[in-house]
Amino acid sequence: MIEITRRSALAIMAGGVASTGVAYAAVSSFSDEDLVRVTLEKYLGRLNIRKEHLEQFVLEFQNRNPWIFPGEKLSDAVTLLETTKLGQARALLPGQKRRDLRHFERWVVAEFHMLTDYAWRGSPDDPIRFTGWQSCTNPFANFEMQQNA
């Protein structure tokens, strides 16, 4: 039989407090860019994008869709889960939170295609650049007004 002494119980409690502190520090250090990066990499694979371009994309995304970003606690938790490859734990979230995250992910991926040159690169190894909103990318579009005679 294992005997638990007062000293070992205190050591276990101190270890628990220390690990909680470390986990809190890790979660509180996440930024919006971290959430967007892990979300995009979940669907698109490893991204070759400079930090400045990612920051510009996130800023523009937030300006265009301020209501879509999840709350701070939820985004920190999701970033931690995706970073540690425990994304399956999302199933434990309430249904509305899961729907909100799915909605956010769809918007992020769609806007990433529209606000960066991700789809226009010559090679998957080419760096991704933030290009901003392009009103029309159709090379055959004709915007001249034609008047009927």
Q: Give the amino acid at 100.
A: D
**Residue 33 is assigned to a structural domain of this protein:** yes
Nearest Cα neighbor of 132 from 64, 43, 37 is: 64
pLDDT band at 80 (very low <50, low <70, confident <90, very high): confident
- Phi and psi at 129, nearest 5°, equal -120, 145
**Residue 143 is assigned to a structural domain of this protein:** no
Residues 46-63 as b/e (b if ≥16 CB within 10 A, e otherwise) read: ebebeeebbbbbbebbee
**Residue 97 is assigned to a structural domain of this protein:** yes
**Residue 83 is assigned to a structural domain of this protein:** yes
**What pLDDT is stored for residue 68 in this prediction?**
85
**Residue 63 is assigned to a structural domain of this protein:** yes
CA distance 102 to 108: 10
Residue 116 three-state SS: strand
For the cut 60, the answer to whether the pLDDT of residue 149 exceeds it is no
**Residue 60 is assigned to a structural domain of this protein:** yes
Q: What is the pLDDT of residues 110-120, one digit of tens each?
A: 999 989 999 88
Please give the share of the chain, as a percent, with pLDDT higher than 90: 30
Nearest Cα neighbor of 64 from 14, 108, 129, 119 is: 108
**Residue 14 is assigned to a structural domain of this protein:** no
**Residue 15 is assigned to a structural domain of this protein:** no
Q: Structure pTM?
A: 0.68
Q: Which domain holds residue 37?
A: 29-120
Into how many domains does the chain fold? 1
- Phi and psi at 29, nearest 5°, equal -90, -5
Where are the extended beta strands (E) located within 1-149? none
Q: What is the pLDDT of residues 8-64, one digit of tens each?
A: 766 677 666 556 555 554 545 678 899 899 999 999 999 999 999 999 999 999 998
Question: Which residues, 6 or more positions from 121, have their beta carbon under 8 angstroms from its beta carbon?
Answer: 128
